[in-house]
Amino acid sequence: MNRSILFDSPFLLGFEHTRSLIERAAKAAAESYPPYNVEDRGDGGLRITLAVAGFSPDQLSVSVEDRQLTVTGKRDGGARPEEAYLHRGIAARGFARSFVLADGMVVEGASLEHGLLHIDLARPEPEVRIQQIPIRTAG
């Protein structure tokens, strides 16, 4: 992937992690299967819904690593030799779809119903931290 000229500025030091996040998001945006929706549930909560018709729960995996949510679907072998399709419009391929999560976003859970995989996300209110800094005197 080409490096962003914006992040090559000598005035932006220590932003390598931000560059990496942007590159990961751009790669995820290029994926097109399976189709998905992102809903705002209010109070900072989101729901991602993926159309995963034909996948069973044991063929799906949802994981989070380094603020990247990854959903994978693995098919076992596909069509059996005795099946003869006149038209095959339902995709039977595996997939991996990724979403970059903001700081503080947590996955609350995932559920599969009627061929739709729902993944619920929340952004809990950050804990207020007050730090007292001791003042030293010279000498």
Edge-to-edge strands, sheet with 36-42: 36-42, 45-51, 116-122, 106-113
pLDDT digits (tens, 9 = 90+) for 41-79: 988 899 999 999 889 999 999 999 988 899 999 987 655
Q: Where are the domains of the chain?
A: 1-30, 32-122
> Looking at the domain 32-122, which fold is it?
Immunoglobulin-like (2.60.40)
Give me the percent of the chain exceeding a pLDDT of 90. Answer: 44
pLDDT digits (tens, 9 = 90+) for 21-46: 677 667 766 677 899 999 999 888 99
- Short-list 119, 20, 17, CA closest to 72: 119
pLDDT at 33: 80
Is the overall model pTM greater than 0.75, yes or no? no
Tokens coding 85: 């399709």
DSSP H/E element including 18: helix 16-29
